[in-house]
Amino acid sequence: MRAVLFNPSARAGRAAALLPALRSALPADVALHVPDSAEAALALLQALPRGSRVVAVGGDGTLHRWLPALIERDHELGLVPLGSGNDVARALGLDHDTPLAWLSHALNAPAGFIDLGLALWHDDQGRAHESHFISSLSAGFDAAVARRALDGPARLRGLPRYLWATLRELAALRTWALDITMDGEHLHSGPALFAASLNTPTFGGGMPATPGARTHDGLLNLLLAGPFTRGGALLMLPRLLRGSHLGHPRIRTQAFEALLILARGDLPLAADGEWLGLARSVQVVVRPSALRVVRKG
């Protein structure tokens, strides 16, 4: 079975203007659903026959919220990327086309497997949480930026929105005391600006954070930064935008299968640009070939 789920809230509601064109382009045998909440979308996904081809119309946040049901029901995922950041779409080769072309490709092209990340984390009350992610898991500064970006000006989207949130967060710059173990070996102990785990080469609406990351190599990629002063962070931002940050002595990137982060104090946490909460410990593992996705190229 094939179905299209349209998130009318994508791009701060501006994606809804494309609904009539997409509706008129659908084949007669394809159902269109416009759920008005994440809960309604999850219920729809749970009700579809197992292994259905589901075309998600939205962005990274949409995919993140729908991941639990996509995984549980073993659905195939097609994507019409109408989000603000679209880092998943870039990784899948879907960043240069039109919505109707994306729709046709998502409905008809073959699907292949990609990896996912899984974060198992505990909050300051000791409560356990589990969060899958498709693009990135952010811990520290970049998670705090993601939280600010959610409340950013409606006129900004993608990279400009992320930059706005970044500058706001720089005004109250903090570091976090982290102890990090990667694949069983101790990697870092001390202050850090952030520790991001990426499945895609970019995050934050197109920042080339880990250019070597691939969605289907059985690995995630750590981007560890810091500590930085406010001035040092300001100087680093242009390098991150250009992808030239990897030569900096306080920036480290490395591929991994399992990662453990222990924090002394509350550590901001976000996944695929969606705010998760404040964590005291985070275990991150790759889930190889966990989702079937339509990609391009």
Round to whole Å and give the CA distance between 222 and 242.
Answer: 18
Asked if pLDDT for residue 155 goes beyond 80, the answer is no
Round to whole Å and give the CA distance between 28 and 72.
Answer: 27
Cα separation of the two ends of the chain: 24
CA-nearest of 276, 249, 261, 239 to 64 is 276
User: Residue 297 — very low, low, confident or very high, per pLDDT cuts 50/70/90?
Assistant: low
Domains of the chain, by residue range, sit at 2-109, 116-288
CATH class, domain 2-109, is alpha beta
CA-nearest of 200, 222, 219, 290 to 257 is 219
- Whether 105 and 2 have beta carbons less than 8 Å apart is answered as no
Q: What is the 3-state secondary structure (H, E, C) of 152-194?
A: CCCCCCHHHHHHHHHHHHHCCCCCEEEEEEECCEEEEEEEECE
Question: pLDDT tens digits for 100-138?
Answer: 999 999 999 999 999 999 999 999 899 999 999 999 999
Round to whole Å and give the CA distance between 95 and 159.
Answer: 14
Q: Which CATH architecture has domain 116-288?
A: Sandwich (2.60)
- Of these ranges, 143-147, 162-166, 236-240, 260-264, the one predicted with the greatest mean pLDDT is 260-264
User: Higher-confidence residue: 173 or 294?
Assistant: 294
User: Higher-confidence residue: 154 or 145?
Assistant: 145
Mean pLDDT for 199-228 is: 92
User: Residue 19 — very low, low, confident or very high, per pLDDT cuts 50/70/90?
Assistant: confident
Sole residue written with tokens 């026959």:
49
Asked if pLDDT for residue 39 goes beyond 80, the answer is yes
CB count within 10 Å of CB 174 equals: 13
CA 97 to chain centre: 21
User: Residue 142 — very low, low, confident or very high, per pLDDT cuts 50/70/90?
Assistant: confident
Question: pLDDT tens digits for 54-112?
Answer: 999 999 999 999 999 999 999 999 999 988 789 999 999 998 888 899 999 999 999 99
CB count within 10 Å of CB 193 equals: 22
Q: What angle is formed at CA 207 by the lines to CA 205 and CA 212, rounded to 5 degrees? A: 120
Q: Which two tokens stand for residue 276?
A: 């998760």
Reported pTM: 0.91
In sequence order, the 6+-apart residues with CB closer than 8 A to the CB of 118 are: 130, 131, 132, 133, 284, 285, 286, 287
Sole residue written with tokens 């094939």:
2
Asked if pLDDT for residue 158 goes beyond 80, the answer is no
Round to whole Å and give the CA distance between 135 and 127.
Answer: 24
Q: Which two tokens stand for residue 251?
A: 């920036």
- Whether 222 and 256 have beta carbons less than 8 Å apart is answered as yes
Asked if pLDDT for residue 50 goes beyond 90, the answer is yes
User: Residue 12 — very low, low, confident or very high, per pLDDT cuts 50/70/90?
Assistant: low
CB count within 10 Å of CB 186 equals: 10
Round to whole Å and give the CA distance between 120 and 140.
Answer: 16
Q: Which two tokens stand for residue 181?
A: 């173990």
In sequence order, the 6+-apart residues with CB closer than 8 A to the CB of 24 are: none
User: Higher-confidence residue: 223 or 206?
Assistant: 223
User: Higher-confidence residue: 210 or 11?
Assistant: 210
Q: Which two tokens stand for residue 108?
A: 């008809």
Question: Could you check whether 2-109 and 116-288 share the same CATH topology?
Answer: no
pLDDT for position 202: 93
